[in-house]
Amino acid sequence: MAMVAEPLARTLPPPEAFPSPASRFGNGDGRGVTMLVGMAGRGSRVGRQAAGNWGFGVLIDKRITDKPEPSAMARFRPGTGQRFLLTVDTEEEFDWTKPFGLTEHRVDTIPRLRKFQQFCEGYGIVPVYLVDYPIASSPVAAEVLNEALAAGRAEVGIQLHPWVNPPHDEVINEYNSFAGNLPVELEREKLFTLRDRIIANFGQVPRIYRAGRYGTGPNTARLLREAGVAIDTSARARFDYSGTGGPNYRDLPLQPWWVGETGSLLELPLTTVYWGLLRKYGPWLYPAMWRAPRLRGLLARIGLLERIPLTPEGVTAAEALRALDVAVDDGLAVLVLSFHSPSLAPGFTPYVRTERDLDALYDWWRTVFDNLIGRGVRPTSVREIMESVELA
C-alpha cells in the first residue's frame, strides 16, 4: 500500500517565512538554490516536514515539456474519484491584436469578478484566480476577492505576464512574452516579485502557477520550487506553441504527473481532448494537418476528428459536452477548465463582444457544471488536490 504523507497544505511555510527579493539568492549564477527548508529554518518543524514530504531541497532537472515516464504519473488516494478544477486567467485587459506593451492595458473588468465568484459559490465551486502583476497590484482586486479567499471559497495562484511584470530588463516582443525564454535570473526575479506582490495584496501564499501564454522554459520547474509553488498548470496538452517561440505540449498526457521526483512539482495539465471517429489517431493526424486548417474544420463538421479544450472561449456548449464525454469516460483524475477574466465583460476579448455573448458564457458554465456534477464529477480545489495526491 502506498504511503500518504501529511498534506502539503499543512506543511509549507507561512508567508512571513519567505525572504525579500534582495536577500533571496547568494551567488546569482543560477546554480545556487536557496530552498524553503532554509527559509523556514532547517531545525523547525515546518522545515523538516516541507523537506521530508514534498521534495523541498531537491533540485529539479526536468523540464515541464519533458514527456513523463509511466512511473512519474501521479496517484490519488482511494476514494478521491474524478474531480474538476476551475481556473481563471485573471489578468489585465489589452488589445490581443497589437504587439505586447508595458503600459497599454487596463483593469476595468476586476469588479466583474464579484458576480462570477457568487455564481461559482452557488455551485459549491472554489475558483482558482491565477493573477498577474496588474491584478496583484490592484486594491480593487483585493477588495473584491479577499473575503472569499480568506474563507476558502476561492484560491489565488500566479500567472506571469512578463511584459507587464517588473523588473523590466528585457526587450518586449513575442519571444520574450514566454517567460520561460527569459534569462534564468530575470525569470526568477519576475516570478518572486509577483509572488511577493500576491502575498502582500491578498494575504495568501500562492501554491499554483500558470505561465502567461503557457510559456514555460528550461528553468521554470526549478524556479517554481524555489518560490514554494507546489502545482504547475501551464501545460496545455495537444497544443504546440513552438512556431512563435513558445513550448510544445502536443504529446504530453492529460493525467497529472510529477516533474522531477515524486513530491517535487505536480503538473496539472489543462484538459483538451480529441473527439470523433478518428480520435485515437488524433495525436499524429491532427498535427499533420497544421497547414490545412480547412481540412481540420471539415473533419470536425463531419464528426471524424475535433480538438476540444475545456474552455468557453471559442468552444460551444455542445462541443464541450462531447469533450466531457471523452474526458470522463477516459477516467481523467482531474479535469482542468479555464478562461480569461476579461471575458467577463463585453468588448475585451474576441469571445465576448456583447451582453448577449456574456449571457452565453454564463450559460456555457451552467451547462458544463450541471453535466459534470450530474455525472458525479465533483469540483475540487488546490488545497484538496494537495491533500489527496499520494506522495510515495
| DSSP 3-state percent helix, strand, coil across the chain (nearest 5) | 40, 15, 45
The residues pairing with 83 across neighbouring beta strands, listed in sequence order, are: 334, 378
Q: Which domain holds residue 75?
A: 8-63+71-271+334-388
Label residue 38 by pLDDT band (50, 70, 90): very low
**Dist. CA 271–CA 323, nearest whole Å:** 9
The residues pairing with 270 across neighbouring beta strands, listed in sequence order, are: 236
Q: What is the pTM of this model?
A: 0.87
| Residue 42 confidence (pLDDT) above 50 | no
**Residue 17 has what pLDDT?**
46
pLDDT exceeding 70 applies to what percent of the chain? 85
158 located within any domain? yes
| Residue 10 confidence (pLDDT) above 70 | no
Write the pLDDT tens digit of every residue in 207-266.
999 999 999 999 999 999 999 999 999 999 999 999 999 999 999 999 999 999 888 999
Which one, of 213, 194, 215, 214, lies nearest residue 205 by Cα? 194
Averaged confidence pLDDT in the chain: 88
**Residue 69 contacts by C-beta under 8 Å, 6 or more apart in sequence?**
none
Q: Which of 26-30, 104-108, 305-309 has the lowest mean pLDDT?
A: 26-30
Write the pLDDT tens digit of every residue in 62-103.
999 999 999 999 999 999 999 999 999 999 999 989 999 998
315 located within any domain? no
The residue type found at 258 is: W
Q: How many domains does the chain have?
A: 1
196 located within any domain? yes
The residues pairing with 308 across neighbouring beta strands, listed in sequence order, are: 273
**Residue 379 contacts by C-beta under 8 Å, 6 or more apart in sequence?**
83, 84, 85, 86, 123, 124, 125, 126, 372, 373
| Residue 59 confidence (pLDDT) above 80 | no
Label residue 53 by pLDDT band (50, 70, 90): low
**Residue 60 has what pLDDT?**
74
H or E element: which one contains 280? none
Label residue 104 by pLDDT band (50, 70, 90): confident
283 located within any domain? no
308 located within any domain? no
| Residue 277 confidence (pLDDT) above 80 | yes
388's grid cell: 489527496
pLDDT exceeding 90 applies to what percent of the chain? 81
Give the CATH number of the domain where residue 361 resides: 3.20.20.370
Residue in this structure with the C-alpha cell 487596463, named with its chain if needed:
106
Residue in this structure with the C-alpha cell 453535466, named with its chain if needed:
371
276 located within any domain? no
Is the CB of residue 361 less than 8 Å from the CB of residue 109? Answer: no
The CA-based angle 1-332-90, given to 5 degrees, is 115
| Residue 48 confidence (pLDDT) above 80 | no
Residue in this structure with the C-alpha cell 529554518, named with its chain if needed:
41
161's grid cell: 505576464
* Residue ranges in 41-171 assigned as alpha helix (H): 45-54, 112-122, 133-136, 139-151
152 located within any domain? yes
Report which of residues 44 and 174 the model is more confident about.
Answer: 174
Most trustworthy range by pLDDT among 2-6, 55-59, 182-186: 182-186
286 located within any domain? no
